[in-house]
Structure formats: structure tokens, C-alpha cells
Amino acid sequence: MAFFMKTMISNQVKNFGFGGRSEEKKEEGGTSDPAAAQGMTREEYEEYQKQVIEEKMERDAAFTQKKAERACLRVHLREKYRLPKSEMDENQIQMAGDDVDLPEDLRKMVDEDQEEEEDKDSILGHLQNLQNVDLDTIKEKAQATFTEMKQTAEQKCSVM
């Protein structure tokens, strides 16, 4: 019954001009050639499809490489700050073929940071930090503390 109604309605729609002979041909003829639908010959269409696939593979490879570089940076920062390792980052690096380094700009920044930290940790770094300290302020604080301690001691001890 439902099939009969559907057929009857579709025939009425076609009679009003909403359907078309192209739809009838598609139903009867099956699928058409995708190359013809794109306005290309079969060889052009195959070449186009090959090119599309190659471009997608290149984009995917570049994306995977970028993800691995970011993961490498995170691994480096985790090592630097002694944070727990992430298995996800290690997997991303392995997926890229373990041939991943930090990007050149980031490597320069990391190297500069390491040099600064090494300088701060060295004796010369500590001496440079002492030069930046205001000695007059330290002397004033020390004298004020000494005077305060002396007054407190005099109040507690009657011999002095």
C-alpha cells in the first residue's frame, strides 16, 4: 500500500514538472561517471585525484611534524622543570619517526635561557647580583635591627 502511494505521488509530481527526466535517467541508468560530472576526461580526473591525495598526505605529514615539535618542546620543558613525563607527547614524537627537534627559533630561545641560568648559578652571577643590591638600605636595616635588639635587651636585663 505504501509503495503504491509513493509511486502515485511521485508520478503526480513529475506530471506537474517538479520532477524531471534527468531524475528518471539517474534512477534507471545508475551512477554517472565522476570525471564527466567534473567536466574532465578520465585521465584528467585520475590525475586530479592523485594530486589531491598527494597534497593531503603532505599536509598530514606537516601537521604530524608540527605536533611532534610541540610535543618535543613540552618534553624539554618538563625535563627542565622536573615535571612528570607525558606518555602522549612521547607517542607523538614516535609517530613522527623520532627525528624531531625543537624548531630553530625555539632552540635559540632555550639556549639563551640556559646560558642566563648558568650565569646566575655561577659565582660571577652572584657577584653581579650583589652589585645590584643597595648597600645603604641593607646597612640601615642592620643598624635598626641592632638598635632594636639592644633596647630589648636593656629592658629585660637590669644589669646593663
Is there a domain that residue 107 lies in?
A: yes
Question: Distance (Å, rounded) from C-alpha 86 to C-alpha 70?
Answer: 13
Residue 73 domain boundaries: 38-100
Element of type H or E holding 157: none
Is there a domain that residue 137 lies in?
A: no
Is there a domain that residue 27 lies in?
A: no
Q: What is the mean pLDDT of residues 142-147?
A: 89
My answer on whether 115 and 96 are in the same domain is no
pTM for the structure as a whole: 0.45
My answer on whether 51 and 72 are in the same domain is yes
pLDDT tier at 4, thresholds 50, 70, 90 = very low
My answer on whether 113 and 68 are in the same domain is no
Question: Distance (Å, rounded) from C-alpha 51 to C-alpha 30?
Answer: 27
pLDDT of residue 40: 84
Residue 75 Cα distances to 83, 88, 90, 94, 156, angstroms:
9, 10, 8, 13, 59
Residue 116 Cα distances to 7, 24, 121, angstroms:
82, 77, 9
Element of type H or E holding 34: helix 34-38
- Per-residue model confidence as pLDDT tens digits over 93-127: 888 876 777 777 777 887 787 777 777 666 666 66
- Per-residue model confidence as pLDDT tens digits over 31-68: 567 777 778 888 889 999 999 999 999 999 999 888 88
User: How many CB atoms within 10 Å of residue 68?
Assistant: 22
Residue 18, pLDDT > 70, answer no
My answer on whether 96 and 112 are in the same domain is no
Is there a domain that residue 59 lies in?
A: yes
86-94 contacts at long range (C-beta below 8 A, 24 or more positions apart): 92/64, 92/67, 92/68, 93/68
My answer on whether 109 and 96 are in the same domain is no
Mean pLDDT computed over every residue of the chain: 75
Q: What is the 3 state secondary structure string of 84-133? A: CCCHHHHHHHHHCCCCCCCCHHHHHHHHHHHHHHHHHHCHHHHHHHHHCC
**Cβ contact 80:107 at 8 Å:** no
Count of structural domains, the chain? 2
My answer on whether 62 and 72 are in the same domain is yes
Is there a domain that residue 12 lies in?
A: no
